[in-house]
Amino acid sequence: MKFIVSSSYLLKQLQVLGSVINSNNTLPILDNFLFELNNNELTVSASDLETTMSATLSIDSKSKGSVAVPAKLLLEILKTFPEQPLTFTVEDNNTVEISSNSGKYALAYAAGEEFPKSVNLEDPSVTLVPADVLATAVSKTIFAAGNDDLRPVMSGVFFQFSPEGLTFVATDAHKLVKYARTDVKASQVADFIMPKKPLNILKSILGSSDAEVKIEYNDSNATFSFDNYILMCRLIDGKYPNYEAVIPKENPNKLMIDRSLFLSSVRRVAIFSNKTTHQIRLKIAGAELNVSAEDIDYSNKAEERLTCDYQGDDLQIGFNSRFLTEMLTNLQSDMIMLEMSLPNRAGILTPVDGLEEGETVTMLVMPVMLNS
């Protein structure tokens, strides 16, 4: 088994796949990349049992076979090469020899058969989503997903597909983000919960792609195929909470304000807030928004006045500044709308402008109790 490949081309593909590999694996074979050679096609795979990703590379070869090569060692050596062709030769003494312009390097390999086989989806449902839509949906929602091991369903992003459109939801019980598209549709109704890790990998490579992503899914697994990549992952088992019930429908108090102005104000004031609660207070009366925070233990306090466009009753409400900052940073619009009903009901944050047609973003943030 022998093939020739460009060093930088191989490195670029392997760095993407390398993000799948865990730093401490239960099975030693998972510390390897699986190389499967079929004449001029080389398929490289990486897996952590839950998520498996493979890339297909065009190379120069006339042989077939499969070997598992140590991932860390291979990535380290590839990073040091300037752009040049590398020749990989599988020798009889259980080593793979890499020949470059300047030298030879031998790595021990494991048999390709030991590598876990990827699951074949039986009769999956299929939806096509443009790469940029999927990348936006993931980056808009993933930050709101939880990290609680006791509630695994909330540690992923909920995908809801229907002939009306696509909806992506993430929540950790303190904040919730719902991203919806009516311009991209699925043929039938389906929903599943995607874990964070494969989504983060997708997010990092989809941004530069203009392909269509083919999503195939059944009850337990989902596959994303685009360009020369295939990402397969196990879905989170369980029923997603009824998020629609949490979003308050009647919100008579509406505040419209410049996003970057509000964000920098919240960031400044938050420095003076209590380090455990991160609580800031919004006091709205007329066209004036008063943002304040106080840390009684250290006698630190801050207060800022902003002008805003407000319709509703005078209101005082407390929020966790970290959640508010995350959400405001994640929105790209110039103006945002904050809708509220009562100091103990969730506030709803939506962008006023900057959305594509058929795109909606709704962010919900739970208030914190104010100590009067």
Q: What is the pLDDT of residues 65-111, one digit of tens each?
A: 999 999 999 999 999 999 999 999 999 899 999 999 999 999 999 99
Q: Are 6 and 83 in contact (CB under 8 A)?
A: yes
Residue 149: its pLDDT value, please? 86
Q: Which long-range contacts (CB under 8 A, 24 or more apart) does 283-286 make?
A: 283/315, 283/316, 284/253, 284/255, 284/308, 284/310, 284/312, 284/314, 284/315, 284/316, 285/314, 286/310, 286/314
For 139-192, the pLDDT digits (tens) are: 999 999 999 888 999 999 999 999 999 999 999 999 999 999 999 999 999 999
What is the pTM (predicted TM-score) of this model? 0.92
Residue 30: its pLDDT value, please? 97
CATH number of 1-112: 3.10.150.10
Whether 1-112 shares its CATH topology with 123-243 is answered: yes
Q: Could you tell me which of 243, 250, 253, 139 has the C-alpha nearest to residue 196?
A: 139
Biggest CA-to-CA distance, the chain: 81
d(CA 237, CA 223): 16
d(CA 77, CA 103): 12
Residue 208: its pLDDT value, please? 75
d(CA 361, CA 63): 51
What number is the average pLDDT over the span 206-225? 91
Sequence spans of domains, the chain: 1-112, 123-243, 251-363
Residue 199: its pLDDT value, please? 96
Question: Which of 165-169, 206-210, 220-224, 243-247 has the lowest average pLDDT?
Answer: 206-210
Q: Could you tell me which of 29, 6, 110 has the C-alpha nearest to residue 66?
A: 110
d(CA 235, CA 192): 7
Angle between helices 196-206 and 131-141 (to 10 degrees): 130
Residue 210: its pLDDT value, please? 83
The answer for residues whose C-beta is within 8 angstroms of residue 365's C-beta and 6 or more apart is: 174, 175, 319, 320, 323, 324, 327, 346, 347, 349
Fold annotation for 123-243: DNA Polymerase III; Chain A, domain 2 (3.10.150)
Q: Could you tell me which of 326, 317, 308 has the C-alpha nearest to residue 344?
A: 317
| % of residues, the chain, pLDDT over 90 | 94
CATH 3.10.150.10 fits 251-363, yes or no: yes
Burial 17-38 (b: 16+ CB within 10 A, else e): bbebbeeeeeeeebbbbbbbbe
Residue 259: its pLDDT value, please? 97
Q: What is the mean pLDDT of the chain?
A: 95
Residue 282 has pLDDT above 90, yes or no: yes
User: Which amino acid does the sequence have at 88?
Assistant: F
Residue 303 has pLDDT above 90, yes or no: yes
For 227-243, the pLDDT digits (tens) are: 999 999 999 999 999 99
Residue 116: its pLDDT value, please? 94
Tell me how many degrees the CA angle 91-97-100 measures, rounded to the nearest 5.
145
Q: Are 65 and 58 in contact (CB under 8 A)?
A: no
For 11-34, the pLDDT digits (tens) are: 999 999 999 999 999 899 999 999
Residue with tokens 């995908």: 159
Residue 372 has pLDDT above 70, yes or no: no
d(CA 165, CA 272): 43
Residue 298: its pLDDT value, please? 92
d(CA 52, CA 197): 11
Which of the four pLDDT bands, split at 50, 70 and 90, describes residue 371?
confident
Sheet containing strand 110-111, edge to edge, reads 110-111, 64-70, 32-38, 41-47, 51-58, 229-234, 221-226, 212-217, 125-130
